[in-house]
Chains A and B, each alone.
Chain A
Amino acid sequence: MSTGIGTALERIAVSALALLASAVIFGLLLILYAGVDPFEAYALMYQGAFGSWFSFQNTLTRAAPLILTALCTALPARLGLIIIGNEGALVLGGVAAAAAGVAVAASGPLVTNLAMAAAAMIVGGAWIALAGGLRQYRGVNETISSLLLTYIAIALMNHFVEGPLRDPTSLNKPSTPPIGDANMLGTIGGSDVHWGLAFGIVACLLCYVVQRFTTFGFAMQVIGGNPKTARMMGLNVGRYVLIACAAGGAAAGLAGMVEVAAVHGKANASLAVGYGFTGILVSFLARHHPLAIIPVAILLGGIGASGGLLQRRLDLPDAAVVVLQGIIFVCILASETLYGRSWTWLWRFRAAEGR
C-alpha cells in the first residue's frame, strides 16, 4: 500500500512541477510578447475561474463536457490506444441528440432527455468504435483515423445543420429547431450548474469501479500491458477494444447531448468550440485515471472560463488560453521522463521527515 501512496505522491509532485514550468513559460511569453505582467494575468485567471461563486459556477459548467470528452481518450488509453477523435463524437452526439429531441419533443421532458441521451451515446459510441475497429481489424493507426473522423464529423454536422435538419427560421446562424424550453436539462439545486456535471462525475466513478474492481477492468489492464499475453490468456482483445472505444465515444456523445440540452437548446456550429480537444489534454494530464479527470477538468474548465476576462482586462488574444493549454500539454508529456527518477528523491525526503 505504501508504494501505492508513493506512486500517487510522485504523480502529484511531477504534475505540479510540470504545471509550474508551464506557468513560467507562459509568463515569459506574456512579458516578452504582450508586455503583460504575468502575476496580474494569473491573479485575473484565478478571479475569473474560482474567485467568486458566479465564476466558479461558470467553471463547473465548462468542466462538465470536459470530464465527459476526457473519458473518450482515457478509456481506450487503458488498452494502449491513443484516440483523439473526442470532438467528432461530441458534435455528432449533439446533432443526434437535437434530432431525437425534436422528434419526441411532445412526450415530456424526461422521455425527451432520455431519448436525446440515448441517441447521442449510440452515435458517439459507434463513431469511436469505428476507429477502434479499424485499428483492431485493419491495422489502421487509431490516432490518425480518429482525428480524420473528427473532420468528417464536423463536415457532417455542417451538412445536417444547414441542410436536412435546418430550422428554416434560423437565418444568421443555421441551427436545428429548438428542443423547447420545457425540455431543457435543469440545473443542480439552487445553482446555475446544469446536470451534465453530475453525468460526468457519475460516469467517471462508474469507469473507476469497473476498472478497479471487476474482471473486465482487470482484463483491460492486462491488454494494455501486453496484448500478446492477453491473447495467449484467451482474452478476446477485439471485443475489449470495441467496448472501450464505444464507451469512450458514448461519453463524448453525451457531452454533445449536454451541450444541446442544457446550454444551446439546439444543435449548431457552436458545438465545435474545442471541448473535445481540451478533453484530450484533460485525459493526458490526469494520466488517463478516471477519478483524476474530475479535478483536472475543473482546473482546465477554470482556465477556459477566465479567457474572457483576460481578453477584456489585459487585451490578450482569445487564443491565450489555447497557448497555455498547449504549453501545459507539452510540459506534462516532457515530465514523463522524470518518473522513477524523482521517486528516490521524494522517498528520501519523506524518510527524513519521518525521523
Chain B
Amino acid sequence: MSTYTKEESTVEVAAAVDAPSVERLSSLDTLESEAIHIIREVVAEFEKPALLFSGGKDSVVMLHLATKAFWPGKVPFPVLHVDTGHNFPEVIDFRDRTVERLGLKLVVGSVQEFIDRGELAERADGTRNPLQTVPLLDAIQRNKFDAVFGGGRRDEDKARAKERILSLRDEFGQWDPRNQRPELWNLYNGRHTVGQHVRAFPISNWTELDIWRYIERENIELPSLYYAHEREVFARDGMWRAVGEVSQPLPNEDVITKLVRYRTVGDMSCTGAVESDARTVADVVVEVAASTLTERGATRADDRISEAAMEDRKKDGYF
C-alpha cells in the first residue's frame, strides 16, 4: 500500500489518481511518435537537411521513420554515406538498393579519396572509423547541409548519454559537452549561425532492444550480415574478425569457419562478429534481450581504446 500526501491528509494511490480509461501507447509507439515529431521539426525548420546512412540498423530504422513521417510523399532530403573503403560488400549492395527503392539522392564522402590525396593518413592499426570525421565535415560543408540526421542512441555510450536531440556543432564540427543548450519539453531549438550546423538524433531515446523489436514489428529489411551465417573468421582482441581484403589474419592467427552475426556494421577492419545462431529477427530479439555485453564493447575495437574514446571523437566532429 502506498500513500500520497495531499494537504494534511494522506490518501491511497488509487484514490489520488483515477485509473485512466484511455489505452496508452506502447513504449515502441511512443518512441516512434517522438522520432517522427523530431524528423518533421527538422525538415520544417532547416534549409537543407541530410540523413547519415551507412546501411547499419540504426540508420535503416531512421530512414524507415522518415518514410512514415512524410507518407505518401517522398522522403524530402538526401542521404549521406561516409565510405571508409573498408566496407562489407553486402552492406554497399543494400545501401544502393535502398536508395533506388525510395528514389533518394545519395551523397558519398570517401575516406579513400582523402587518403589518396594525402589529406588523411592511414593509421598504424589500419582502422578507418576514426578517419570518417574529415570526409563527413567536408561533405557537410560542400553540400551546405545545415542539419544532419544521425542514428545515434544515448544507450550506446556514456558520452552519448549526455548528447542533446538537436546538437549544435561549430564551424569545425566540434561538440562542446559542457556548453549544450537545455532541451525543454518537446520544443526543439535548432537556431544556428552561418557555418554552424546541427546534428539531429531522433532515436536518442531508443535502446538496442527497442531497435530490434521495431525492426521485427515493422518487418524492416537489413543487410544479411546482421543474421547468423557461416563465415571465415579469426580471433583478435577477443572478437571474431572476418577474413577479407582489408582484414587479414597474422601468421599466428588461425582461420576457422564459424556461425556468426554482426551486432554493428562499420569498418570491416575493426568490426567484430559474435558467435550466434540467430538466423531471424525474432531470434535476434531474444538474443539481444539476453545479452550481457553492450554492442559497442562486444564488437567495436575503436571504442575499446580508452574510457573516453567516444567522447574524444565526438568532440572532434564524429557522428
B and A form one assembly: no
